[in-house]
Structure 1
Amino acid sequence: MAQTNEQHGFYHLNWLQRIGFGAGDLAQNLIYQTIAMYLLLFYTNVFGIDPKAAAFMFLIVRLVDVLWDPVVGTFVDKHEPRWGKYRSYLILGGIPLSGFAILCFWNGFSGSLLYAYLTYVGMSMCYTLVNVPYGALNSSLTRDTNEITVLTSVRMFMANCGGLAVSLGIPILVAALSPDGKMNTKEDANAWFITMAIYAVVGLALLLFCFSQTEERVVMDKSQTANVKVSDLWEEFVRNKPLRILAFFFITAFAMMAVGNSAGSYYMIYNVHGSTNDMAIFMGLGSVPAFIFMPLVPAIKRKIGKQQMFYVFLSVAIVGMAILYIVSIVPALRSQLWLVYAAQFIKSTGVIVATGYMWALVPEVISYAEYTTNRRISGIVNALTGIFYKAGMALGGVVPGLVLSFVHFDKDNAVEQSPLAQQGILWLVCVIPALLLILAMFIISKYELTDEVIDNINKEIEQRNKKK
């Protein structure tokens, strides 16, 4: 029976294949998490851009993504490069992605908005060229829901390895390479450039490893995707209710992460007055829970179900944010760094599990689309989810810059900020993310594709394929 299932899409992957696939997300996180966590700090304090101008630029880049993502998704679904329908782009997009990421942190045109726009837009477009096909690659490996859960857990575990390498490693490495031992002054420019170059090259090597270990076995043939067009994206969004729910969940989840991640470095520098090592520990705790809880996700999901799992861990994240806020407004508590770290760990535990597992829902909505239309347009579905998570990133990228401008953040002061500016930073770290998580809980409550429903859908699809 196992052999029969393997012949009809329910493939089981070995551990090298699972790790190979996860290496793709590790690679992307080495690059994109550096952008998400530290580019705003680099732009304001090192490169010399006004926070309001940086916020507007983040918005423009995401608007470009909204136009670019459907083009990439449609192109990917319609074409089959010689190295694989989806895996080819790990190389074709990975090489320029690494190059643009390095250029984003080059200070050769210090203060130039034009240079910042060109490099950031270029990086973001290349990231889409890797990320959309990579997301579609997941659903091309197998239909088996248990295998997808394991695959997603491995992927998220390795993605958080990348997040940890960025959050913990970047402050330490930049400070070590900087002449003043800091990471938020103009003297630190070369240290940022060298650090990003190291991370980008390692990321490219990991993309090549992912390419070597993945095999696409659940894909539509050319005749079934020949007529795919950009308008299919919007038609699918209107028609596919589970996709709409997942899309709006992506918006809120990624907005929450983008706001909190970009503000974390400001919080440790100006609210806690911590050292670069303190910041490395705080930011690193944003990823550490993944190594404890992501391996447990398959068992937790089997025990309580995926929807209850979302409720539990989103609630844990909100509790962690509330604790961090209380600790931060009481001077006697704020000086106790272990309390700050504990609150960050609790918050991160909830965020990591909830936002990590949401990627396992993408193959489900792809199967639902195939079940209702008889076309497995993975590229288009991943382009849609890409649009919405980048919409969340846009919101998360714009809000910090606007809040910092509103509270009169002084980008030239590397040590102190006004009480109002410190309060604004605290809004970004705790209050706004918590409100977004409450909204996310309401959204995910509307998701109706249970494991049983998805298993029946996949079996019906395979029965159809047998009859052809």
Structure 2
Amino acid sequence: MEMSIKSDAVPASDKGFYKLSWTQRIGFGSGDLAQNLIYQTISMYLLFFYTNVYGLDPGVAAIMFLIVRIVDVIWDPLVGTFVDKHDPKLGKYRAYLILGGVPLTGFAILCFWNGFSGSLLYAYITYVGLSMCYTLVNVPYGALNASLTRDTNEITILTSVRMFMANVGGLAVGMGLPIVVKLFDPSETSDLSSSDSAWFITMTIYGLVGLALLIFCFTQCRERVVMDKSETENVKVSDLWLEFVRNKPLRILAFFFITAFAMMAIGNSAGAYYINYNLSGTAGELSIFMGLGSIPAFIFMPMIPAIKRKVGKKGMFYIFLITAIIGMAMLYVISMVDSLKEHMMLVYIAQFVKSTGVIVATGYMWALVPEVISYGEYTHGRRISGIVNALTGIFYKAGMALGGVVPGLVLAFVDFNKDAAQQTPFAQQGILWLVAVIPAILLLLAMFIISKYDLDDERIDQINKEIEMKHNNQ
């Protein structure tokens, strides 16, 4: 079978195994950087904005987060089906970077406008609108990865670049946003700003920069591994369920997504509360703490191809998931001992260890999406990238739903009071559950799930070669 792609027959680049330039790789990764300027802001700070600036009760906000995710469950497969069935002039998948990117930017900015302070209706309209537009960008963007090349090594490099760029976005939000908000805060408070105009101006800046990056991503991506129009005519929403049933690796990946994103969303949304109320930290200390959620990416993401070659796919997941759990345990112990939590450097070290594990394990999972797409094409003959990304989108947004609902419910349960400068010990313990305990439990579940994934690089390479042989023999 190895002889089926001999160089004296047809060049590998003509058989779907394309190599990309570094400009193209960075261009593709800039799309995730753009989305993270919005997604990470929503994940880390929207609940804080709603409770401490906009004036919503934590329980009410939690219910809204759940309802928005329910809307996503309906919307995502519709978007995935539509994307697979249609071929816009601007590109099958990349077109939506523009078509969805413009309204996404608008809704993101409006989510942080306080013109209708306390209005639940306005919050619902803007947040639902943002979520729907995010899907309109994110599902095609996810499919775009699999349309650029079949080459497994290239996909690994692409994913490393993508996650590196995504974490640049995470750093810009986690470390940069508190600083930028502070610049526009006329009250000059020492903690995270409650100035509505400061939040609005900051989100406007982040949104417009994100839109410019989406446009750059659009200019650098070329779609060369896609279905013919004749093959897309019969794509329908029910294909999502069929693909889920007959594609075991996809099912495993989908459940990994829900646990991974729930873990990240819960931990991220609790960060501002943790620094403010458990450690009595400043905006600068919050900036460092949140920034450490992304900094490890710049050290470890470039090393992923080498690490994977050394210990294998599963070995890499196990090593870094365990690293994340160790970091969370460190955070918990430090936070429970008064003499330790006074030393912010210890908190920073624990956050760095935790983030190192989270970033690598959750970053590399995106490289598995093109694999399950190819597996589906191999087993039933159709490369329905939009459907597959819609399905993974449903599960990671289900994780995001947990990330939005669980913190609000926990804060309500422990009687969190946004007006109190000092929270009760029970409320502080609830915040600590969100920062360390619940995410660690979810990571243990994620380790069990990924242990069932059985597509190694050799099998995927063989599958892709056989698919290309079939295409070239037709």
Same fold? TM cut 0.5: yes
Q: CA deviation at 1:184?
A: 7.0
In the alignment, the residues of structure 2 paired with residue 377 and residue 385 of structure 1 have an alpha-carbon distance, to the nearest angstrom, of: 13
Please tell me whether residue 408 in structure 1 is matched to residue 415 in structure 2: yes
Counterpart in the other structure of 1:266: 273
Please tell me whether residue 420 in structure 1 is matched to residue 419 in structure 2: no
Please tell me whether residue 196 in structure 1 is matched to residue 193 in structure 2: no
In the alignment, the residues of structure 2 paired with residue 411 and residue 278 of structure 1 have an alpha-carbon distance, to the nearest angstrom, of: 19
Counterpart in the other structure of 1:294: 301
The one-letter code matched in structure 2 to 1:437 is L
Please tell me whether residue 14 in structure 1 is matched to residue 14 in structure 2: no
- Matched-pair contact (CA < 8 Å) for 1:27–1:202: yes
Alignment RMSD: 1.1
Q: CA deviation at 1:411?
A: 1.8
Counterpart in the other structure of 1:24: 31
In the alignment, the residues of structure 1 paired with residue 194 and residue 35 of structure 2 have an alpha-carbon distance, to the nearest angstrom, of: 28
- Matched-pair contact (CA < 8 Å) for 2:256–2:450: yes
- Matched-pair contact (CA < 8 Å) for 2:244–2:250: yes
Among candidates 413, 432, 435, match of residue 438 of structure 2: 432
Question: Cα gap change, 1:187/1:452 in structure 2, threshold over 3 Å: closer, same or farther?
Answer: closer
How many residue pairs are counted as aligned between the two chains? 467
In the alignment, the residues of structure 2 paired with residue 257 and residue 183 of structure 1 have an alpha-carbon distance, to the nearest angstrom, of: 27
Among candidates 327, 334, 343, match of residue 336 of structure 1: 343
Please tell me whether residue 387 in structure 1 is matched to residue 394 in structure 2: yes
In the alignment, the residues of structure 2 paired with residue 305 and residue 368 of structure 1 have an alpha-carbon distance, to the nearest angstrom, of: 19
Q: CA deviation at 1:412?
A: 2.2
Among candidates 353, 377, 383, match of residue 384 of structure 2: 377
Please tell me whether residue 447 in structure 1 is matched to residue 453 in structure 2: yes
In the alignment, the residues of structure 1 paired with residue 116 and residue 428 of structure 2 have an alpha-carbon distance, to the nearest angstrom, of: 30
Among candidates 208, 218, 237, match of residue 230 of structure 1: 237
Please tell me whether residue 97 in structure 1 is matched to residue 97 in structure 2: no
Per-residue Cα deviation, 1:289-344 (whole angstroms, up to 9, x for no partner): 00000000000000110110000000000000000100000000000000000000
Counterparts of 1:22-421 in structure 2, within 5 Å, are 22-182=29-189, 187-413=194-420, 415-421=421-427
- Matched-pair contact (CA < 8 Å) for 1:314–1:437: yes
For structure 2, the residue ranges without an aligned partner over 5 or more in a row are 1-6
In the alignment, the residues of structure 1 paired with residue 184 and residue 99 of structure 2 have an alpha-carbon distance, to the nearest angstrom, of: 32
In the alignment, the residues of structure 2 paired with residue 429 and residue 195 of structure 1 have an alpha-carbon distance, to the nearest angstrom, of: 25
Question: Cα gap change, 1:420/1:87 in structure 2, threshold over 3 Å: closer, same or farther?
Answer: same
The one-letter code matched in structure 2 to 1:321 is M
In the alignment, the residues of structure 2 paired with residue 99 and residue 317 of structure 1 have an alpha-carbon distance, to the nearest angstrom, of: 35
Match of 1:11, SS? coil
Match of 2:11, SS? helix
Per-residue Cα deviation, 1:120-145 (whole angstroms, up to 9, x for no partner): 00000000000000000000000000
The one-letter code matched in structure 2 to 1:392 is G
In the alignment, the residues of structure 2 paired with residue 111 and residue 31 of structure 1 have an alpha-carbon distance, to the nearest angstrom, of: 22
Q: CA deviation at 1:396?
A: 1.2
For structure 1, the residue ranges without an aligned partner over 5 or more in a row are none
Counterpart in the other structure of 2:467: 461
In the alignment, the residues of structure 2 paired with residue 92 and residue 321 of structure 1 have an alpha-carbon distance, to the nearest angstrom, of: 40
TM-score, with length taken from structure 2? 0.97
Question: Cα gap change, 1:306/1:383 in structure 2, threshold over 3 Å: closer, same or farther?
Answer: same
In the alignment, the residues of structure 1 paired with residue 179 and residue 281 of structure 2 have an alpha-carbon distance, to the nearest angstrom, of: 13
- Matched-pair contact (CA < 8 Å) for 1:46–1:184: no
Dislocated runs of 4+, deviation >3 Å: 182-187
Counterpart in the other structure of 2:4: none
Per-residue Cα deviation, 1:362-395 (whole angstroms, up to 9, x for no partner): 0000000000111100000000000000001101
Q: CA deviation at 1:183?
A: 8.4
In the alignment, the residues of structure 2 paired with residue 451 and residue 355 of structure 1 have an alpha-carbon distance, to the nearest angstrom, of: 18
Q: CA deviation at 1:182?
A: 3.8
In the alignment, the residues of structure 2 paired with residue 105 and residue 362 of structure 1 have an alpha-carbon distance, to the nearest angstrom, of: 32
In the alignment, the residues of structure 2 paired with residue 254 and residue 231 of structure 1 have an alpha-carbon distance, to the nearest angstrom, of: 25
Match of 1:315, SS? helix
Q: CA deviation at 1:74?
A: 0.1
- Matched-pair contact (CA < 8 Å) for 1:409–1:417: yes
Q: CA deviation at 1:179?
A: 2.0
Question: Cα gap change, 1:186/1:10 in structure 2, threshold over 3 Å: closer, same or farther?
Answer: closer
In the alignment, the residues of structure 2 paired with residue 274 and residue 186 of structure 1 have an alpha-carbon distance, to the nearest angstrom, of: 13
Question: Cα gap change, 1:225/1:298 in structure 2, threshold over 3 Å: closer, same or farther?
Answer: same
Match of 1:446, SS? coil
In the alignment, the residues of structure 2 paired with residue 182 and residue 435 of structure 1 have an alpha-carbon distance, to the nearest angstrom, of: 36
Per-residue Cα deviation, 1:254-313 (whole angstroms, up to 9, x for no partner): 000000000001000000111100000000000000000000000000011011000000
- Matched-pair contact (CA < 8 Å) for 2:320–2:360: yes
State the percentage of identical aligned residues.
Answer: 74
- Matched-pair contact (CA < 8 Å) for 2:192–2:283: no
- Matched-pair contact (CA < 8 Å) for 1:182–1:188: no
